Structure 1
Amino acid sequence: GDAYSETYGLVNLSSCTCALGDVDSAQNAALQARELARQIGDQSAEAWALTGLGHSYLAAGDHKKAFDAYRGALQIRQMLEQPLLATEPAAGLATLALDQEDLETASRYIEMVLPVMEQKQGLNGTDDPLRVYLACYRVLAAKNDPAAGDVLQTAYELILSRASNIPREESRQAFLENIHHHREILSAWKSMQNSPVSIRQTKI
């Protein structure tokens, strides 16, 4: 009923505000969503809330709290046998490990993601597949794995595809330029091309 709708509304609010850089609002929304999810006994919603909490703590630079949130989300997804949805907290944990220069641990988490990514549906059904693609790319690139380029190309094409569905030029540029992990993907792709391609000149 209402509590269910409110929980998922708060999860979505956390995702949007975190993407726009409003970390405090993202954390508050995710914490409220987690508590509501626990009250109504919705474990999947709790995992969504914990994943959002992980994103917001990561953005704030609080790696310890981000780790606990992502790990909690991953444990729920594994318990519920949801390998697709487990890719998001696993990618978050890989990002944390890579930021701490622990490539072995980062690789272990990415190994949970790659088999899912290679299936026909790919990451369709996740909340933010671009975060997952970026984490995989960064870890594979750190390992000098040639698959890194393919992952980055897929992420780049997905960004352009999503941007093409945004009618207003101003909103489209905001989508490409104002969201941190989108900027990272575009920057990495331009570096891979080894030529100064302007985002604004890219055909969308």
Structure 2
Amino acid sequence: MAQAGRPRGRPPLSSREKIEAVAIELFLEHGYSGTGLAAIIEACGVSKTTFFRYFASKSEIIWYAFDDHTRHLRRLLAEADAPEPAMTVVRTCVVDALRASIDERGIWMKRFIILDGSPELRAEESAQWISWADAVGEYVARRLGVSERALVPASIGGAVQAAYLATLRDWRTSSKPASELLLDLDADLAPLCDVLQGWLDQQRPRR
């Protein structure tokens, strides 16, 4: 039984979550470049001091979650059980990282739509995706005992990142629930990872 005086349903958004949600909607409506910091602050009904308490800049509203996502992917790969085939680990960790990032308010996917469709964010977006691909490549390199810049891990990181990005783009206009996105991502990665595992199995261990 609910306690008297306690509101039911979803808890109220924190100031940070409110700023993020309002800014994302403004970016979708007016474009990233067409939305100034002053407009975000006014729409949120907060002061500049409050805004900068949570975000160092307008662009951080877009990028902080991407950074968190990539760090989480790296952590999952670092903690994965080594006896499993490397590409099984990669596929599982990529799906699990996305599962942890997706939120019930749909902010994560809205953020992706903004960054993927905003030319002014393209250069930084490219750097972010390279970092994401590097997370996969570094894990494969550790399993092979080679440099992350070697052909095999670098190629695998790029291939998995391309498949991941293609799946997200397919979902930009989808109304399906996030649980189905995760199933689609796993299904899309499975044949690619099988092929890449075959390539890995042909590599000689480096001592």
With the shorter chain as reference, the TM-score category is 0.3 to 0.5
TM-score, normalised with respect to structure 1 = 0.35
TM-score, normalised with respect to structure 2 = 0.35
Relative contact order: is structure 1 or structure 2 higher (C-alpha 8 Å, sep ≥ 6)?
2
Greater share of helix residues, 1 or 2?
1
Bigger Cα Rg: 2
